[in-house]
């Protein structure tokens, strides 16, 4: 265990805390849950930076970091879909979660073929993540009542879902020769 891995583990441990804060029956609970989520999102950047800077990248960290991110985002989306219960949030949430499942399966399959590098994280994925995290922080911080902030959160989430679909298309295009080859062999 090194510092970057401990920070990643902390991110996972913060998930039940932000869930608890989200459901507390107080006016400040939205802002508190959003603050914990924002802190956890910032640790995603920090653990990666420290792992590279201190040369402490490990197989455990490489495994846990994306898992922690996906858990955080999926839990936040589930909370928000339950709270808001509308198409503007549910559809992008389904796209984002569905894409994560597809790309995780694709990466696993490509790794079995020894071609994992062809579906590595891209800069488009970083923009998607930034829009997604900002949208989630905004939406967690504000009750479902119609406001500028909620509309901004929905807009950013929809943009994030669009970037999510585009990045999925890019990953599938990169993997297509391998997918096509196996289909033709059968």
Least confident stretch, 92-96, 146-150, 160-164, 178-182? 178-182
pLDDT reported for residue 168? 87
- pLDDT of 118 reads 56
Distances (CA, A) of 183 to 108, 134, 171, 173: 18, 40, 18, 15
Question: Mean pLDDT over all residues of the chain?
Answer: 88
Distance CA 89, CA 75 (A): 14
Say if residues 22 and 80 touch (Cβ distance below 8 Å): no
The pLDDT value recorded for residue 179 is 72
Rounded to 5°, the CA angle 87-89-90 comes to: 60
Does residue 121 register a pLDDT over 80? no
Query: What's the rounded mean pLDDT across residues 1-24?
Result: 94
Residue 104 reports pLDDT greater than 60: yes
CA distance 83 to 86: 9
Average pLDDT estimate for 90-94: 96
Does position 186 have pLDDT exceeding 50, yes or no? no
Query: Model's pTM, two decimal places?
Result: 0.86
Residue 36 Cα distances to 74, 88, 138, angstroms: 15, 24, 12
What was the pLDDT predicted at 183? 46
| Whether residue 9 has pLDDT greater than 60 | yes
pLDDT tens-place string over residues 39-81: 999 998 898 888 889 988 888 888 898 899 999 999 999 999 9
């Amino acid at each position: 265990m090194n510092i970057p891995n401990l920070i990643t583990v902390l991110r996972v441990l913060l998930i039940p805390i932000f869930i608890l804060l989200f459901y507390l029956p107080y006016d400040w609970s939205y802002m508190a849950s959003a603050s914990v989520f924002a802190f956890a999102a910032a640790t995603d950047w920090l653990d990666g930076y420290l792992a590279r800077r201190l040369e402490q990248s490990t197989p455990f960290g490489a495994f846990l970091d994306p898992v922690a991110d996906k858990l955080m985002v999926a839990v936040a989306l589930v909370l928000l879909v339950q709270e808001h219960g509308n198409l503007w949030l549910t559809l992008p949430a389904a796209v984002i979660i569905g894409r994560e499942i597809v790309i995780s399966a694709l990466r696993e399959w490509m790794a079995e073929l020894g071609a994992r590098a062809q579906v590595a994280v891209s800069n488009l994925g970083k923009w998607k993540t930034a829009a997604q995290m900002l949208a989630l922080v905004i939406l967690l911080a504000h009750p479902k009542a119609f406001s500028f902030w909620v509309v901004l959160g929905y807009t950013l989430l929809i943009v994030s879902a669009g970037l999510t679909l585009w990045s999925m298309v890019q990953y599938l295009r990169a993997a297509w020769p391998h997918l096509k080859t196996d289909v033709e062999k059968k």
